[in-house]
Amino acid sequence: MLVFAQFGAGRIGAIHAANLAASGAARLAHVVDVHEAAAATLAARHGALASDAVTALRDPLVDAVIIASSTDTHADLVIAAAKAGKAIFCEKPIDLSLARVDQALAVVQAAGVPMLVGFNRRFDPNFAELHRRIAAGAIGAVEQVVITSRDPGPPPLDYIRVSGGMFRDMTIHDFDMARLMLGEEPIEVFATGSALVDPAIAAAGDIDSAMVLLRTASGRMAHINNSRRAAYGYDQRVEVHGSLGRLTAGNRVATTVEQADAAAVATDKPLPFFLERYADAYRIELAAFIDAVRAGTPMPVGAKDGRQALVLAEAALQSLRDNRPVRVA
Amino acid sequence: MLVFAQFGAGRIGAIHAANLAASGAARLAHVVDVHEAAAATLAARHGALASDAVTALRDPLVDAVIIASSTDTHADLVIAAAKAGKAIFCEKPIDLSLARVDQALAVVQAAGVPMLVGFNRRFDPNFAELHRRIAAGAIGAVEQVVITSRDPGPPPLDYIRVSGGMFRDMTIHDFDMARLMLGEEPIEVFATGSALVDPAIAAAGDIDSAMVLLRTASGRMAHINNSRRAAYGYDQRVEVHGSLGRLTAGNRVATTVEQADAAAVATDKPLPFFLERYADAYRIELAAFIDAVRAGTPMPVGAKDGRQALVLAEAALQSLRDNRPVRVA
Amino acid sequence: MLVFAQFGAGRIGAIHAANLAASGAARLAHVVDVHEAAAATLAARHGALASDAVTALRDPLVDAVIIASSTDTHADLVIAAAKAGKAIFCEKPIDLSLARVDQALAVVQAAGVPMLVGFNRRFDPNFAELHRRIAAGAIGAVEQVVITSRDPGPPPLDYIRVSGGMFRDMTIHDFDMARLMLGEEPIEVFATGSALVDPAIAAAGDIDSAMVLLRTASGRMAHINNSRRAAYGYDQRVEVHGSLGRLTAGNRVATTVEQADAAAVATDKPLPFFLERYADAYRIELAAFIDAVRAGTPMPVGAKDGRQALVLAEAALQSLRDNRPVRVA
Amino acid sequence: MLVFAQFGAGRIGAIHAANLAASGAARLAHVVDVHEAAAATLAARHGALASDAVTALRDPLVDAVIIASSTDTHADLVIAAAKAGKAIFCEKPIDLSLARVDQALAVVQAAGVPMLVGFNRRFDPNFAELHRRIAAGAIGAVEQVVITSRDPGPPPLDYIRVSGGMFRDMTIHDFDMARLMLGEEPIEVFATGSALVDPAIAAAGDIDSAMVLLRTASGRMAHINNSRRAAYGYDQRVEVHGSLGRLTAGNRVATTVEQADAAAVATDKPLPFFLERYADAYRIELAAFIDAVRAGTPMPVGAKDGRQALVLAEAALQSLRDNRPVRVA
């Protein structure tokens, strides 16, 4: 049994704690949250203690931490957990500042602790299978990737204001997916965006609609389209073109029911949002973390992946501001 | 917490025990199985005792039983559980003999205990949603039902010999589904069948391929097609035609991945068999049972449903033997 | 250039005449219709003469006839055309009476003229491709066939009264399709039916909803479901199960447009009726007739096929009346 | 009857001539081609004369011309036809040089003759229906457009060398489609591309894989992805996101046959190439031209559309060369 301390008792924290309990391979010992009531409730549900960070990290029984608190606390907690020698499962992004990410990762590296960054979509069975087929050569050499990633509705303006902007908050997942599917690092980013959904988002200094192009050294290309609104649900699709064919992974639906009537032939809308669409992904992700910690094998999504997606997000932001393609190291 | 004793520690028993453990609303206290090692293993996994039937049913803490042992033990266990005042979750069929079913149900009725018969497909989210739409009037008055129900491969001959024949063992689920979707009791059955998959099945006195027609008093019709073999997986579909349109519920797939290459555009095969296809259904079914017992509300699939499906199966068998339509009461 | 006389200038006649004109391999010389104005109009459109039957059949330039007049005239015209030595393309059914069909076919055989019976669905590219794959062994030995055949709405009662009943008028196409796909003659028919769409149809002595089972000597089975009404359009599907897999051919749609909005994900309804769905089939059918006449090769759907489908329709009618399975020779 | 002279008796010329013959509203009087034998053959097939350009344009009976000869002859023929007062149907592009296009269009305008530029995809029933729904407000305000446009295989290098490059030859259709679907003129283009399919294409100074972003003044965006190779056929899809939902139009297939076997569930590949996919579009396009000429109504795709798509293609080429977004007037 791997023993966990978890930081963050919010929506995503509740998911991780439940998956941890159901995994049969781990036990939650501490829950830490600035909202003490939330921590207490979640801790009680899983037979854990509502603790503070220092207590949780000093507990020698704790093997690993889940960092699912607000983004601005991630880097500090990563550093503290690394210094305490704990294996780290950290929700994305590690931090909104690349400098701060590098600081944290240096500590992680020095401590030699394993770290997984929470790009949950890599564990979505659909995207994972698509990637498996690429790796198996099903479509030959990858040439182009098209990623559709659209939220059902925008988050509150208060969240948008501290989110680091759409590219760091939302597109960051797609940058990770693009890297994974391209099989080669993007070296250049061009991004364009507008506030088409809500002018208040523009007033808050952000965009809500974006299109991005990525290019690799060998000439592979990726396109990402994003919107903070999709009337029909959460739209999450990946399409990869290779020399021998095309692979697509589409949305999941609640049921296979089809209704044909005088109006149309209608099927289910995509699952509403990430909690539903990525329920399996969250479960598999945590299990993969537990397995890798126990087996001492490399993390399926490592610290470098967390950093590189942020590098692309920052380049996209720069591209948007300057209206030019931006090179990335 | 509802306290359970479970009879049967085989494949389906393991599923129910795991769902029970994960439900958060119930606790497994006893596991009973003629294979004591199997009982001990499953009991240990869930913190229960490996008991014998008498002990389990005498335990005053036990509120309910799950009967997932071999078919020939169902009726005796139903009777014993009813006499002990326990709520009963019984896998289908209650018995292969209608007389014996009636005997058992009389005891259940006399005891006044709630009883659910395990027609798990009613709880499949796809079929349940289809039925919900019929009830909501989405396609007007139901006119015709077409049920496709095909196993990936035949069971062992030893099983077939004691199964009561394809209609009682396999089609019984489809008879229940036909009743549900027709919204009216079938009054006549015509069945035809052959052994097209394996001559050894014919030698064992059974068929492996069948087509059935059902008719209700008002002239509604249902068709069932069955096979013990489908090269592409477990084929489980329902199609309902009404005065205002058509509803279908199709197979589930593991992923939405589509591969287009020089050969074809290919998608996933249906999920392989009932454990995968009906995983959700089993979980929802048990939760519905627990909810109904706790709330004292009627069972979503009751003893009468268990009986009536068997009546149709027997009529189908008679029809097959006599090559004529057979009336049912 | 094959020279044609055509009997019948109605809806289906207009289609054949247009296909004939566009084929580039044939010329329409005579159009005959009891409605002289209709004959004149169609003849004028294609540079033909509006003639009477005698004139048309006496014309030594005429190689072939298309019989697309009302059903009750078919047999007489077949006989007259055969005696005149013309190749015959005859719309189904040859006649509503089997005795009369046999009379006509005897004359055709004696005359040695080629004859195609208009089972246009065999030429539908979807069904034809499905059949080609069966023949190529794609799904191994055929075991079960499921045919869905539903009209968008019932014909006028006046038509129903002279139609010979649903089995001879509508299901006859499905009997032909079942024979084709089974690859073996059905030896027994069981049929059930009701008037669920319109009680006036019952009052006219007919049914509007039916389900049929067919069985062959080796134990293969086919199911047909019919309705005179489908709120969503013309529903024409075939599903064939074999030892190695399943083949289905579905409906055609006008466009591939998919609309996802707050309500659903909606696609096109099936094409409205036979003129749209089978437009390609009618064209290919006539071309196949012309090719076979010119090459002297066997007809792709012969006189025997026309007869056998009627035999099945009569057996179905008998089965419906007697409520028992009926053997066919 | 509208009387036509046609320039070009190649593959696309043959299609237009056949559609013209079948339209019932037009007659082909002259066919002109530098390959005299080709002109003679096509002319003979349709009862026309094999003429030279001067003769054809001087014929006072000729109402309209179809220009389907090689691209380098288009502008001269447009000018000559305009001066002769003929209505003009001109295959895209009008010319590879914008200056030359403007010259030709000035003559057309001066002559006051109607002119349609052959963006056949606008007449594809799928894309046309998608556009009709946008216009009807089905998805509210358009926000983003994603166009997938991939050829089955690259053309001969000899063709590529004179094609004006991928953007002017192939993407030009997608630029037109983007303009149509955006409902607003793009003001900026960013393009990236590589030769991933064949290094010989790079050696010929062209690319074979491209991704493009377009932006309008109000912030709408479009993405185009192109490849000269798709192992699975001709991939032609459009996806439009609006404030109320999403519309997509996908590929067409030859049949609806689905094969489920031990390997997968497989359906037809997209139709192989433009002759098959756009057969309907070519027919409808010519009919729309004929209708507009006869009725004196505006052309559904006018000279300005032909010019503007070329403007975008040139901007894309500039963007590719300079690796920066390029403004268009």
Per CB-CB distance under 8 Å, the chain D contacts of A210 are 221
Of C129, C246, C255, the CB nearest to D125: C255
Q: Dig out the tokens for C50 from the structure.
A: 């509006």
Asked whether the CA dihedral D125, D126, D127, D130 is positive or negative, the reply is positive
Identity of residue A132: R
Mean pLDDT of A246-250: 98
Per CB-CB distance under 8 Å, the chain C contacts of A231 are 260-262
Measure the CA angle with vertex D189, ends D185 and D192; round to 5°. 150
Question: B220 CB contacts (<8 Å, ≥6 apart)?
Answer: B142, B143, B144, B145, B182, B183, B184, C194, C196
Given a cut of 80, whether residue C171 has pLDDT beyond it is yes
User: Could you tell me if B244 and B237 are in contact, meaning their C-beta atoms sit under 8 angstroms apart?
Assistant: no
Given a cut of 80, whether residue A290 has pLDDT beyond it is yes
> What radius of gyration do chain C's Cα atoms show?
20
Mean pLDDT of A235-252: 98
Of B126, B255, B260, the CB nearest to A257: B126
Residue ranges in chain D whose pLDDT is less than 50: none
Of A188, A192, A246, the CB nearest to D215: A192
At A12 the pLDDT is 94
At D163 the pLDDT is 93
Of C129, C251, C257, the CB nearest to D129: C257
Given a cut of 80, whether residue A329 has pLDDT beyond it is no
- For residue A169, the distance in angstroms to the closest alpha carbon of chain C comes to 25
Bridge partners for D194 per DSSP? D209
User: Which of D257, D258, D259, D271 best probes binding to C when mutated, by most C CB atoms within 10 angstroms?
Assistant: D257
User: What is the per-residue DSSP string for D76-108?
Assistant: HHHHHHHHTT-EEEEESPS-S-HHHHHHHHHHH
Contact criterion met (CB < 8 Å) for D265 and B266: yes
Q: Dig out the tokens for A115 from the structure.
A: 């770290």
- DSSP 8-state assignment for residue C26: E
- Coil, helix or strand at residue B271: coil
Residue of A nearest to B125 (CA): A255
The rounded percent of chain B whose pLDDT value lies above 70 is 100
User: What is the per-residue DSSP string for C186-242?
Assistant: EEEEEEEEE--S-HHHHHTT--SEEEEEEEETTS-EEEEEEES--TTS-EEEEEEEE
CA distance A141 to A243: 5
Residues listed for chain B: 329
Measure the CA angle with vertex D75, ends D70 and D81; round to 5°. 105
Identity of residue D164: G
User: Could you tell me if A62 and A86 are in contact, meaning their C-beta atoms sit under 8 angstroms apart?
Assistant: yes
Contact criterion met (CB < 8 Å) for A249 and B261: no
Torsion angle of the four alpha carbons A321, A323, A324, A325, in this order, in degrees rounded to the nearest 10: 70
Of A211, A244, A245, the CB nearest to D144: A211
Contact criterion met (CB < 8 Å) for C266 and A263: yes
Mean pLDDT of A288-302: 96
User: Could you tell me if B123 and B284 are in contact, meaning their C-beta atoms sit under 8 angstroms apart?
Assistant: yes
Q: How many CB pairs under 8 A join A and B?
A: 83
Contact criterion met (CB < 8 Å) for B265 and D263: no
At B22 the pLDDT is 87
ipTM over 0.90: yes
Per CB-CB distance under 8 Å, the chain B contacts of D232 are 260-262, 265
CA distance C275 to A4: 68
**Other CB atoms within 10 A of residue D181 CB:** 24
Q: Dig out the tokens for B8 from the structure.
A: 């049967």
Of D196, D220, D241, the CB nearest to A219: D196
The rounded percent of chain A whose pLDDT value lies above 70 is 100
**Other CB atoms within 10 A of residue A211 CB:** 24
User: Could you tell me if B187 and B327 are in contact, meaning their C-beta atoms sit under 8 angstroms apart?
Assistant: yes
- DSSP 8-state assignment for residue D268: P
Per CB-CB distance under 8 Å, the chain A contacts of B137 are none
- Give the pLDDT confidence of D52-65 residue by residue, as tens digits: 999 999 999 999 99
Q: Dig out the tokens for B312 from the structure.
A: 């149709």
Residue ranges in chain B whose pLDDT is less than 50: none
Identity of residue B147: I
Instruction: List the subunits that have 3+ CB pairs under 8 angstroms with A.
Output: B, C, D
Of B213, B232, B245, the CB nearest to C213: B213
Per CB-CB distance under 8 Å, the chain C contacts of B194 are 218-221
CA distance B59 to B47: 16
Q: What is the largest CA-CA distance in chain D?
A: 66
Residues listed for chain D: 329
User: What is the per-residue DSSP string for B39-107?
Assistant: HHHHHHHTT-EE--HHHHHH-TT--EEEE-S-HHHHHHHHHHHHHTT-EEEEESPS-SSHHHHHHHHHH
Find out whether the peptide bond into B270 is cis, omega within 30 degrees of 0: no
At B122 the pLDDT is 98
Per CB-CB distance under 8 Å, the chain D contacts of A197 are 143, 243
- DSSP 8-state assignment for residue C155: P
CA distance B325 to C64: 47
Residue of A nearest to C267 (CA): A265
Instruction: List the subunits that have 3+ CB pairs under 8 angstroms with D.
Output: A, B, C
- Give the pLDDT confidence of C261-307 residue by residue, as tens digits: 999 999 999 999 999 999 999 999 999 999 999 999 999 999 999 99
At D22 the pLDDT is 87
Contact criterion met (CB < 8 Å) for A211 and D150: no
- Give the pLDDT confidence of A55-110 residue by residue, as tens digits: 999 999 999 999 999 999 999 999 999 999 999 999 999 999 999 999 999 999 99
Hunting for tokens 């071999």 — which residue is that?
A: B70
CA distance B100 to B98: 5
Half-sphere exposure of C287 (CA within 13 A, CB side): 12
Chain B residues in contact with chain D using a Cβ-Cβ cutoff of 8 Å? 231-233, 259-270
Find out whether the peptide bond into C186 is cis, omega within 30 degrees of 0: no
Given a cut of 90, whether residue C24 has pLDDT beyond it is no
Per CB-CB distance under 8 Å, the chain D contacts of B255 are none
Per CB-CB distance under 8 Å, the chain C contacts of D139 are 259, 261
- Give the pLDDT confidence of C102-156 residue by residue, as tens digits: 999 999 999 999 999 999 999 999 999 999 999 999 999 999 999 999 999 999 9
Question: Helices A11-23 & A279-295, crossing angle to 10 degrees?
Answer: 60
CA distance C114 to D65: 46
Identify which of C278, C301, C244, C236 has the alpha carbon closest to the alpha carbon of residue C89: C301
Alpha helices in chain D (DSSP H): 11-23, 36-45, 53-58, 71-83, 98-111, 125-135, 157-162, 166, 172-182, 199-203, 274-277, 279-295, 303-322
pTM over 0.90: yes
Residues listed for chain A: 329
Contact criterion met (CB < 8 Å) for B231 and D261: yes
Bridge partners for A107 per DSSP? none
At D329 the pLDDT is 77
Question: D124 CB contacts (<8 Å, ≥6 apart)?
Answer: D236, D249, D277, D278, D280, D281
| Domain architecture of chain C: domains with CATH | 2-113 (3.40.50.720), 122-327 (3.30.360.10)
Instruction: List the subunits that have 3+ CB pairs under 8 angstroms with B.
Output: A, C, D
Mean pLDDT of C25-35: 96
Contact criterion met (CB < 8 Å) for B256 and A249: yes
At A24 the pLDDT is 85
